[in-house]
Structures are given as structure tokens and as C-alpha cells.
Structure 1
């Protein structure tokens, strides 16, 4: 229990009792007060002199912070008195922060919070024992038990507990700790403040109106940004400059490579002095060597606006039945061709010996990109044997934007018809149909009316091998004609990893976002497939095929023949080991209903569909974690004890002959 009394033993008046703190935050110490003097000044406030049972300097500072909280006021140090005297351990004079400590310069206006308040507090911790070891000779009878003296001049010329005053209070240490934890969890200053406000509203809806007005409990957005920069500047170094570059190499890359036990990241300066970082994490290296799809097809895309320096992030992924899987990340300071070339060459030095499914530095058979000239030229320079295809979606999007650009003068009612000419060429079934669609386009009166559009589609037609789907038959693109896997990965990077906020600097982007969170995200997605709980949005799902088992006949070790459901005279040939079908959808190795029927009726494993056997899921587990020792024996067993017959299971593998022939066809087409 606290004691507040004057010299005559009379209980102290309410104004002083209401503003004094009763105990410390952890309630391990209760404050006891003895009031020496109290004088009321009616409406202008009061003055008081009291002593407290506080004996150390740190405890006195703690009491001062708790007094500011209990009285809902903010104090600034007005003067620090010397402590050389043998009777004083600590002494400071504080002023209300609504009072100007120094006079404003002539010609400048005062701050909006400056009311000229003259409230003042003097805090003195007196020595109970002198430096010579003797007891203090101070005449105050309470000095031994209450050595701290407080002289308070409570003469505020402003109202204290209203929003106009509370909005200037300092954020409390508890509030700063909450914000710091939210920042470390990946929140931006704006999102952290939003979460803090939501928690305050949920915890006590009745008091939220008052709490949200108090800056010590609910700070403003500017404070959140300043705290954000202060925290990450300390953790990751300066926001830019040579020290920031040194922090990338010493604090992030070196430490990560040491923890991983291998070289997973490197940083170099380009020939023009640009910063280039290559990343191939352990999970990415396992995708290179264990996922055979990485030798067939790779998607590449870039994004910017990820940090405050305009860095570009290039992401390489491959296709799988579990969704797109990352193969590498390149961070550069620009998107110039020479910079991308050096970034790809740097990535080659980090990738494992069996990179790209065993192709090594030759790269994959096919790249699918958007129509970025610098990116495509850089890929051709580093991987000359690979075929560079253009994303069909990006091509059609570019045509549509060209038609809607007002400077080209295309009338609105002609745009759709002109667009369909290019669309017909994109989806034509063979090269002859592409040529026929082009001839139809250039002879259309609407096209003749716009010479600029005619020249535009002529330039497109010259590059038809890279965007027309008729020229992709026989290529192992697994029915992927767009760069959607890379687009989805960029959405993951910005939404789930960056959480729609910019990184503080390059070290934070590399450490906090790419190395820590990015790999963890894909590990969780792979484990969801391993545990047979895939998410539909990132897994290629399929509907149950209506093809009966009687319509399927086995013609070889891994080959089958399926009768068409629409034309009984038509038959499709399927090779489940290669994962191809003679139908339009499966001719490039994509999943089709005929392969699905074989998987359903014959229990054959296929890399085009979600893994059904324990062996397939064990491979994904190894890619995700690096080993299978962290799960108990029998973890992959099916719900029923009967396993598929061994002779009906065709393991997914690369067909060397088909792949080589496919690669040869690619070179001819290129």
C-alpha cells in the first residue's frame, strides 16, 4: 500500500494522488511517498514537495517514465545538474514539452505544440551515505528511507487529457516493442500500425476511442516510419553507399553460405560498376539435380519496385505437377543486357554440377519469356543452344495495347477484328494455317485501311517461330504456352514474401525476403503435396476423366492406345514414360484426359499429375528438405494397405532419345 501524507499526517489531496504512480510495471516494488509541502493555486494548478523510497539513479529514471505515463504528460530534460557534490547522486530538472526550452529564432513561428507552458519538475536522488562512508548529515528525517526528492510545479497552461495534447506524447517502450516485433515479422510501417490499431480495438472496444488518441499507445504513421528505419539501419547497415554493399557481402552472403555449408549466393560488381547478386539456395540446387523438368523448360521473368533503390529481381522457375519450382534468383540494379548477361553467368557459377537436369551450363532446352529484348538477348548469349519462346499472353496483350493506343489512330469498332487476325495466327494448328491466317489478315480491307497496323503485323509475322503455337509441336513445353508460372511466382514474392512493402535496403531484401522467406514458402508448398494436402491455386488439378477402362489398351511396356470418345474410329497413342500423347494437348508433354484415364485405371505414375505413389512423394520430400530421415518409417504409406502392382508403375524419367531429338528440332526451328 502506498502512503501519501503531509507533515501533520493528513491524507494528501486528490490532484496529487491522481497523477503519482503507485508501483512499477512488474509490480515488484511499491512506491511510498511522504509529502513535505503542498500548495494549491486553484485553477492554475499546485506546487508540491515530496520524497520517495527510491535510492538509485536508474530507479529514479524509471519512476520518471512511470510518472509521465500515470499523469499522461511528457517531460523533457531542461537542465542536468552536476553530481560532483558529495550529497547528491543524481539531479535533473524537467520541463513540460509544451513549453519552449529556448526562444524561437526571430522570424520563425513556434511549433504548434508550444503553448509556453511553465510546468516544471526537479528530481534529486540524495546520498544516504557520503563518499567517505559516513551517514548523510541532511536534516530531513526521511532521507534514509526516502532519499529521492521531487519538487513539482504543476502549472500547465493547457488541458492535458484531450486529443489535442495526447497526440504529442512520446510512444511508450511497450508500443515500440510491439512495432519492432511486427517489423521483424515482415510488416511495413503502415501494415504494422494497422495491426496495432486493430489489436487495441479488439482488446478494449470501450476505451479504444481514448486509446487511439494517445500517441504513447497508438503512434502516428511518421513515427512508425522513423522507428522502422532506425531498427533496420542498425540490423542491416546504411540504406545505401559503400557500407551497404559491404553489409551485403559480410553480414548476409558470407553468413548464409557458412550456415548452408555451400556456396549459395555470390555478389560481384559488373563491368560498368553495377551491383549483381546471384542466388541458388539449397532447395533450388535440389530442384536442378532432382527435378528432370528443369532440363526441358524454364520460365524467366523480372520485377522491380521491391526496395528503395529500384533493384530488379529476376526469377528462374521450372514446371512441375506441384507448380512452379525456383531454380535461381538474380538481383541487379538495372535491366540492361550486359548486366543480365553477367548475372546469368554468375548464377552458372553457383548452380550445382548437374544443373538444369544434367545439362549443366548448356541450360534447358526451352526458355519462355515475355517480350523483353534485353532479357532475350542476354539469354541467347549465355545459353545459345536453348530455344527462346515468347509468352502467348504477353504477345496478345502487347497487340491489344497497340490497338488501343490513341497515337495509332485505330477506330474503336475496328480494334476487335484486327486483334482476332493475330489471335488466329497464334492458335493456328500448323504452319500452313499460320500462313493462311496471315494472308487473310493483310488482305482484309480493315487492315489495308491502317498501314501502320499492316507494318506491325508484318514485323510480328517475321518472328512467328517464337510465338505461334503451331511451331511448338514436338517441343517439350508440357502445354505451357505462357509465362504464367513466373507471373504467379512474382505475385508470391510481392504478396506473401514482401507483403506489398519495399525492403529497407539490398541486405534486407536479400536476407529477410529472399534467403529466409522465399525458400521457406516453396518448402511449405512441396510438403503440402507430400502430405497429400495440395492447395488448388498453385497445383495443376484435373477433373475425373470419363474414359472407361475398356477404351484403353496397353500396347507396350509404357505405351497405351485410347479410343476417342467423339470419334470411335480415332485412336490416340500415349507414352506414359515420356508423358506425351498424340492429342493436341498432350503432344508437347502436357497433361491430358487420356493420360489421366491411364493414371486412374492402371495406377501408373505420371509426372504430369499429382504424385500417387510413395516413391514420387519421397522425391518431393527430398527436394523440400534435403533428406528423408526426418519422417518416421511408413510415413508415405497409402490409406489402404494394397499398393499398385509393380508392373503397372512406370517411373517418370527422361527419355534421352526423345529429348535429344526434341532439342535438335528446336535448333532447326531457331
Structure 2
């Protein structure tokens, strides 16, 4: 045994020593030692120093219980190159048989013992230093523990503002200046020159504490205090659940501004997701709808999703938003809440907002029905599934309450017909919340798990706020492409001005083909089936157009109100429209004299003779006239511009596409197992197959 193999600050007595075999850069041996060590802390200190002097990283293999009052500490250690690797590739495991057994005996009181080394040398060490690998090669020393000196240097660099990458670069530069040509050997030692993943984990521990335990809670509390001081308001609240787990509620300054919108008091969406950090914390998002998509109203961070925890989080959110929250409704919460079919979530909402009406997402209801039809317990045959699903879908989207009276008492929150008195604004699904969860994982977290709950809180309070601010700014400046494809994209109204009568300042009566509709622009409501829930309909923009004409403010730059075509009866051709058709026919007759139009009109006449015997095809041709080719409608042009990527496209040779191989080509390996099933309910219904599960 070399003199420098053992730490030199201790007194030793060698009871037994035997050299076993020499291998590479070291000599194997077996030895029994006694040391002048009396406390458990001194034992751990000696093991730590032995790692540096011997060049062997010892890991705890087995800890044994204390035997009465005689033994204070007993443990067995192993070489770090004997592990159970998760993967065979790039593993440090060599199945090394080197071991070390340690026993610390008590020296208190007068105890009868035949050990001649007691009480001066109470610490016994049995070393089996037989390694099957070299100890001082690059492949071994790159797995050593990082030393205290390197940790202190990194801490100092972080305090002056260095990032993990820049701090490691500075450390390597200093080592080059200090060791010169020997840097190539020093940099291979992880004890002196750590790797980048370790430096990144060190930063997380310094800033956010450990993944669990008291340091994590202290870091989380500090993060909440710093965030509230930065906002000059109480925008985050930290609590503790009945199980002792942390519970954080966030309502940022932007979210408090969203609470001032009237939609926040009318309708709220809620959804949750997990797997966002290494402890699988749950993130609950509350949103409301707007022309900019779903905007957040609050965030709940917790480590469980039971009903009691969610209810406590909603109570904390009510404390943060105050009486001005939810458009002035305060602790009453929103009028309507659309949720998934989650019993704990809906139970917590009933406790926190007893006056709110809970509606079930229509898509999740149909999804649950389709999955139930495919269960073996349902007893439904393969041929009957489509028919039964169609019945449920027709019942769900029925527009008249009379046809669902017999099921109304059990399905109050489900059929669309039962929602006629609710201001859903045309929202029957939880799509806003689903999209917000995807934005959270893709845009905010970049599909990377957070280190722990404090870091997740930091990411949500810093990046999520700026993302929604940028989205609102883009919508205000007309730069957000998704807004062009939104369902609130405007269309020109086709209701004649003579069919619109203004009753009061913002109230109108619009005449249809079979009945008249009352429009109130202050409440944004219409008595038609689409507009009575607050959804946009064709009657509202027509009244706005008429109002602008009456006030004399309609110019070439004036934009019509944003709306969509709602469900309404097909209108007959009125007298004004008949004159429009007569003018078109007269103009076409005059065009026949122009040789440029003769060929085109002749081709249209021939096609008319072909289709005149089929009224349905002729009607379809009339409706699609001018909607293809160069005479594309404004809406179709906007949709095409929004769908394709911006900027010029890089061309390719005509034969390049034909030479391309399929996904299974080249030398890439083929992935085993069944292909991933598409998560599409409509496709599963069309193909009459089972629906895949994501949650």
C-alpha cells in the first residue's frame, strides 16, 4: 500500500495486509485497519477524504442497523464502477468487485470486550481493493465526484452573473493558464473540471434548491416574495395543503387586466396537465375567450389533483383577484364554467363557485361515448356503434328543447339546446383550454421538464406573461395569422337595408324570410338560434352596417363588424335581389357582342345545357360561381395566405420529388412495435375504430 493511499490526518494501525494482484496502474490488496475515529461525522469525513487520496470513488452499498449500544455506525461501500445501469450504452459499469466494510464501536462507559484496540482505535475498516479496471485513465476519472474547490469557483462565477456555459468556459480557461501543457490531463478529471450537465444542475440547486425538501420550499417562498415585490402587488400566494404539500396560485398583472373584461364574468374554461417538472406537479389554467383567443385568468400549481386541493387553490385565487375579479363578480366567480369530465375538478368548482353553472365540454362527452361503445362491457356490436353514436350526437346538438324533454333532467349540462339561456358565446367545447395547455408545453417550457416547483413557478411568471402580451399586441396590429382563421372573421352581410328597422339607439328589428329577429348591440345578442347565446350571427353586422350608413361615417376604410354566419332559415330572393339578377342578365347579353367574352359565354352556355337536367348540380354550380380560379373570395384568399408559410419558397428540380425515398428508406433503423394511432375522434368514427388515449 502506498503511503499516500490513505488520508494523512488520522492515526492508523494495520492489522492485516496482503497484495492480491497488479492490474494496469494500481496494485490490488486486501487489508484490515483500525483508526482513531470516535464519531459518525469523523467516519464520513474520512471516507470523503479517502476518495481523493486513493483515486477511488466509494458509494454506499449497504447500511446496517445499530446493534444495541455497542455499534454506532456500520456500512459497506462499493466502487462506483459496479452499478445497475439503465442502458448498456455509455455506462460506467464494469462489475467491479472492490468493497470496503466499516464499523464504528462505542467507547462510552465501561464495557467488557476482548478487542485489544479498544478504546483507542474504535473504527474498523476492511478493505477489499481489487478492481477490474484502471483507476487513473480518462475513462475512469471522468466519473469522479466534483471537488469542493471547483464548486466554490462556480458559485463565485454565478454570483457575478455568469451562465452555466460561460462559467464553465471561464473555469477551463483558468485551468489552461494554471497547468499549461498538463491541461489535457487535468481537464479529464471531473473532480477538477466538471461537465456542463453538472454545472447546469448546480445552478438549479443554487437558485431553486433541491428537487424536494425544505430547501425547495424555502426557494419557492423566496420566488413568490420576489415576484410580488416586482409587481408591487399580491399577484402570487403560497399555501400548504392538508397533506403538507405546497400550493401556489398566480394571477399576474396581465391576468388581472383580463379580469376586467366582461367575458371573464360570463364564461370561464379550466383544464389541467402534468408532467411539466421532475416531480410531476399539476398545472391548472383558468381562461376566458376573446378575439385574441383564450386569455389566462389564473394559474394553480399543486402536487396533487384531488378535490380538496383544487378547491383550496380556487379559494386562494379568489383572495388574490379580490372583489374586482371576474368582471366585478368577485367571489361569486363566472356565470358559466366549461370543464372536462373530471369529478374532482367539477366538485371543487361547485364548492368555490356555488352560483356558477358547470357545462361539460361537448367534444369530451362524445369522446367518452365513443370509448364506451368500444368497451367490451357495453355489449354493443361492431355494426351498431355508428348508429348509436349518431343518435347521441343528434341529441347533443339538438336545437329545440322539446325533443330532449324526457332526458332534460339528467342531461341539463350536456345538450346544446339546454344552453339556449346561457351566454356561451358559441363555445360548447374546451378548445381554448386545450390550446393553452399546448402553448404552455410547446412555447413556454419548450417540451422540457422544469427542475422543480420553484423553477416551474419562475418560468410561468416570466415567460407566460410575455407570450400573452406579445399575442395581444400582434392581434392589435393585425399581425397574428391565427386571428385571420378565427371563427370571428367578418363576412359581408346580405340583408337588404329595407329589412332593418332601428327601434332604439342600439336595438334593431331584422326581417327574415319567415320571421323577424330582435338585435341588441349593447348586449351583443340576437333572438335567432345562433345569437341568443351571444354567438356572432349574420344579423348583427347588418345592423352595424346600417347604423354606420345612418350616421354618415361609412367610408372606404370603414371595416365591418367581425361575425360569422349563424344557423338561420334560407331566405327567399327579395325584390331587390330580383333586380340584381335582371341587371346581371342584361349585362351578359351586352357582353355577347364583345369577342373577348364570346368564347367564355359559349362554354358557360354549353355547360348549362349539360347541367339543366340535374337541378342539384346546377344549384351547386350557381353557388360556386366565381369562388375558384382568379376570382377568389376575400375570405378564401385570407385563409390561403394564413395557411401557407411566409416568405419566398426555395424551389427544387422537377425530378427531385420523384427521387425522394419514403420514411423507411436509407439506412435508418425501423422502429419496432405498432404505429402510433392518430388522436382524432372524427377519423375514428369514420373508420369505426377505437379512439386512442392521451390522458
Matched, 1:292 2:289: no
**Counterparts in 2 of 1:179-194, with a 5 A limit?**
none
Gaps of 5+ in 2: 1-51, 56-91, 100-127, 166-186, 189-193, 550-556, 562-695
1:536-592 Cα shifts (integer Å, max 9, x gaps)? 25854324234145243323211223344xxx2333221111011122221100112
Q: Distance in 2 between matches of 1:103 and 1:470?
A: 74
In 2: Cα distance, 1:492 partner to 1:403 partner = 32
Secondary structure of 2:359 counterpart? strand
Partner of 2:436: 489
Larger RCO: 1 or 2 (CA < 8 Å, sep 6+): 1
For each residue in 1:343-365, what CA deviation from the matched residue of structure 2 results, as whole angstroms up to 9, or x when unmatched?
Answer: 11111111133111111101111
Task: Say which SS state the counterpart of residue 466 (structure 1) adopts.
Answer: coil
2:330 to 350, 356, 360: 360
**Structure 1 residue runs without a partner (length 5+):** 1-76, 81-97, 118-159, 190-214, 217-221, 439-460, 605-611, 617-670
Q: Are the structure 2 counterparts of residues 269 and 542 from structure 1 closer, same or farther at C-alpha, using a change threshold of 3 Å?
A: same
1:562 to 488, 510, 513: 510
Deviations 1:268-301 (A, max 9, x none): 112232221111111111111x201111111111
Tell me, in whole angstroms, the C-alpha distance in 2 between the residues paired with 1:239 and 1:433: 56
Does the 8 A contact of 2:509 with 2:517 survive in 1? Answer: yes
Partner of residue 247 from structure 1, selected from 219, 244, 247: 219
Distance in 2 of aligned mates of 1:320 and 1:228: 39
Residue of structure 2 equivalent to 1:471? 418
Q: Tell whether 2:481 aligns with 1:535.
A: yes
TM-score normalised per structure 1: 0.54
| 2:295 alignment counterpart | 325
Partner of 1:55: none
* Corresponding position of 2:455: 508
- Quote how far apart the aligned CAs of 1:525 are: 1.0
Task: Assess if the C-alpha contact under 8 Å between 1:274 and 1:339 holds in 2.
Answer: no
SS in 1 for 2:474: helix
Aligned-pair CA distance for 1:227? 4.1
The answer on whether the counterparts of 2:493 and 2:541 sit within 8 Å (CA) in structure 1 is no
Question: Does residue 373 of structure 1 match 2:343?
Answer: yes
Which stretches of structure 1, 4 residues or longer, exceed 6 Å deviation after superposition?
Answer: 77-80, 102-108, 167-171
- Aligned in 2, Cα 1:116/1:523: closer, same or farther, shift over 3 Å? closer
Q: CA deviation at 1:316?
A: 0.8
Q: Does residue 547 of structure 1 match 2:501?
A: no
Separation in 1, partners of 2:272, 2:501 = 46
One of 501, 524, 549 as aligned partner of 2:470:
524
Partner of 1:232: 204
Q: Is the 8 A contact 1:388 1:466 kept in 2?
A: yes
Q: CA contact under 8 A between 1:308 and 1:505: conserved in structure 2?
A: yes
Aligned partner of 2:123 in structure 1 is none
* Aligned pairs (5 A) from 1:128-143: none
Q: 1:585 to 1:103 in 2, by over 3 A?
A: closer
Superimposed CA distance per residue, residues 231-275 of structure 1 (whole angstroms, 9 cap, x where no aligned partner): 21222111111110111011x100010011000001111223222
Local SS of the residue matching 2:234 = coil
How many angstroms does 1:419 deviate by?
1.2
Aligned mates of 2:323, 2:403 — CA distance in 1: 43
Distance in 2, Cα, partners of 1:600 & 1:495: 41
Q: Is the alpha carbon distance of 1:348 and 1:393 closer, same or farther for their aligned partners in structure 2, counting shifts above 3 Å?
A: same
What residue in structure 1 maps to residue 542 of structure 2?
597
The alignment partner of 2:412 has SS state of helix
Counterpart in 1 of 2:250?
A: 279
Matches within 5 A, 1:194-209: none
Asked whether the 8 Å contact 1:297–1:476 carries over to 2, the reply is yes
CA–CA distance in structure 2, aligned partners of residues 168 and 602 of structure 1: 77
Q: Is the 8 A contact 1:426 1:434 kept in 2?
A: no
1: distance between equivalents of 2:378 and 2:532? 39
C-alpha distance 396-169 of structure 1, shift in aligned 2 (>3 A): same
The separation in 1 between residues aligned to 2:509 and 2:479, in whole angstroms, is 32
Please report how far the alpha carbon of residue 170 of structure 1 lies from its aligned counterpart in structure 2 after TM superposition.
Answer: 14
Q: Which residue of 1 aligns with 2:599?
A: none
The superposition leaves residues 17-73 of structure 1 with CA deviations (integer Å, 9 ceiling, x where unpaired) of xxxxxxxxxxxxxxxxxxxxxxxxxxxxxxxxxxxxxxxxxxxxxxxxxxxxxxxxx
Q: Please give the residue correspondences for 1:441-480 in structure 2 after superposition, counting only pairs within 5 Å.
A: 463-480=410-427
Q: Distance in 1 between matches of 2:135 and 2:228?
A: 57
Aligned pair in 2 of structure 1 residues 78, 339: CA closer, same or farther (>3 Å)?
closer
Which residue of structure 2 aligns with residue 347 of structure 1?
A: 317
Deviations 1:118-162 (A, max 9, x none): xxxxxxxxxxxxxxxxxxxxxxxxxxxxxxxxxxxxxxxxxx9xx
In structure 2, distance between residues paired with 1:463 and 1:225: 56
Aligned partners of 1:287 and 1:326 also within 8 Å = yes
State the alpha-carbon separation in 1 of the partners of residues 302 and 352 from structure 2.
17
- Secondary structure of 1:532's partner? coil
Distance across 2 between alignment mates of 1:494 and 1:580 = 36
Is the partner of 1:313 in helix, strand or coil?
Answer: strand
- Which of the numbers 501, 504, 525 marks the counterpart of 1:580? 525
Per-residue CA deviations over 1:602-633 (Å, capped at 9, x if unaligned) read 459xxxxxxx999x9xxxxxxxxxxxxxxxxx
Q: Distance in 1 between matches of 2:307 and 2:98?
A: 56
User: Could you say what secondary structure the match of 1:562 adopts?
Assistant: strand
1:479 CA drift (Å): 0.9
Q: 1:170 to 1:108 in 2, by over 3 A?
A: closer
Q: Does structure 1 conserve the Cα–Cα contact (< 8 Å) formed by 2:488 and 2:536?
A: no
- Supply the distance in 1 between the matched residues of 2:308 and 2:145 (Cα, whole angstroms): 50
Q: Does the residue aligned with 1:331 lie in a helix, a strand or coil?
A: strand
Note closer, same or farther for the CA distance 1:286–1:115 as it changes in structure 2 (3 Å cut): closer
Determine the C-alpha separation between the residues in 2 that align with 1:258 and 1:563. 57
The 8 Å contact of residues 271 and 285 in structure 2, kept in 1 or not, is answered as yes
Residue 115 of structure 2 corresponds to none
Give, in angstroms, the shift of residue 487 of structure 1: 0.8
Query: Is 1:265 aligned with 2:236?
Result: yes
Question: How far apart in 2 are the matches of 1:259 and 1:340?
Answer: 27
